[in-house]
Amino acid sequence: MAPFLSEDTDSTPRMPGKGSKYVDGALIPDVEQHGDNPVAIRLTDEELHSGRTRPETIQQCLKYLHRDGLVVLENAIDEALVDKLYKKIVEDNEIYLSKNFLQYNQGIATKNVSQVPPLTPEWLSRDFYANVHMMRVIENMLGPRPELRFINSNVAVPGATGRQAVHSDVNHRFPEIPFGIVMNIYLQDSDASNGVTEIWCGTHDCYPQEEQQATKESGWIKKEAIQKRAKVKPPVQPKLKKGSICFRDLRLWHAGMPNTSDHHRIMLAIDYFAEWYQCPMTVELPRAMKKEIEEEWNISTKGVKWVDKVDHLNQPFYLNMTQDPSMYIRQTEKGVEDWRARLTGKFEFDRAKVTDQNYWTAE
């Protein structure tokens, strides 16, 4: 594997890549990319196989991640690995759906569940969780040795009839600068037919948190903010290639959409945080992988809890993207336990009904 940028001590002046050029002192990258809402950038086969990301590729990824709050990187993972993991998570899903603590994200009509992927040494591949191309972008966005704090997968089961509300994953008072990035890695070709996520490019920093959030208890977005933003840049359900890595600023608006196909739509969800943010969330990983991860992945494992075995199908959903250790949420058989449930005994989180007041409607 190629070294991270922080490990690359070569001070030789770089010549621009093939096709790139200088204009008024600026390097204008020649990088294969398409789309504008969002932008998808494709690694060359040489980048994929050598493990070396062109500086021009990194520049373009950062440009659009800052501008839109989301950018797509294609051709970063071998398709055989993607197919193998997809098959395993589909097999696991049949078991997971029988769990007593299971809850569908924003109601059963969405058929959308959070499911921990297999995390044994056989399945815990760096190609997914600390992909060298992915991490070069994250290092430049969040700073050196970003902290791995969350691993999950989002499974849209066939037969959905409902959609999610437009929301942000963070509903607390958050910094007005990037502090956390989630990588959604799609394990199959995806589009509107199988429930690719609806995204709202540019919403990661277009409104202050208190102006966009419908209630204190969730990240659902106010109807008036939704309608206003759609006039600037409407939401889209992009077509994404198998193995695509979607870098998404945690502040970005998005919504899960119904999978009307006859196959599961699966995307991994891998969260990295800046060290200065001091996220209190932890993720369990097998102790058998500790040496390899700490010596070869070039990430901070401050947020990793090392265990003998990760019982991935018996892990209720747990989340805390705030800076306050007491603000966690977790699934229980009674419902999602949040700060209100701990205070009052009432489990009200994620039980509101999604209506047309929670998503964009054409005027």
pLDDT digits (tens, 9 = 90+) for 275-328: 999 999 999 999 999 999 999 999 999 999 999 999 999 999 999 999 999 999
DSSP letters spanning 30-90: ---EE-SSS-EEE--HHHHHH----HHHHHHHHHHHHHHSEEEEES-S-HHHHHHHHHHHH
- Cβ neighbours of residue 65 under 8 Å, at least 6 residues apart? 71, 137, 141, 178, 181, 247, 249
The reported pLDDT for the residue numbered 202 is 97
% of the chain at pLDDT higher than 90: 89
pLDDT at residue 151 tops 50: yes
Reply yes or no on whether the pLDDT at 354 is more than 70.
yes
Q: What is the DSSP letter of 144?
A: S
Judge contact between 188 and 86, C-beta under 8 A: yes
Q: Is residue 335 scored above 80 in pLDDT?
A: yes
pLDDT at 253 over 60: yes
Q: What contacts 24+ positions apart, CB below 8 Å, involve 315-318?
A: 315/116, 315/284, 316/101, 317/103, 317/114, 317/152, 318/281
What is the C-alpha to C-alpha distance for residues 261 and 158, in angstroms, rounded to an integer? 6
* Residue-level pLDDT at 6: 43
C-alpha 101/C-alpha 94 separation (Å) is 15
Confidence band for 2, pLDDT divided at 50, 70 and 90: very low
pLDDT at 193 over 90: yes
Residue 15 has pLDDT above 80, yes or no: no
Architecture of domain 79-344: Sandwich (2.60)
- Average pLDDT of 168-185? 95
Is residue 145's pLDDT more than 70? yes
- pLDDT for position 14: 60
User: Residue 314, SS3?
Assistant: helix
pLDDT value, residue 305:
98
Nearest-angstrom CA–CA distance, 29 and 59: 8
Mean pLDDT score of the chain, rounded to an integer? 93
Quote the radius of gyration of the chain (alpha carbons, Å): 20
Q: Residue 239: helix, strand or coil by DSSP? A: coil
Torsion of CA 316, 317, 318, 321, to 10 degrees: 180
Model-level pTM? 0.93
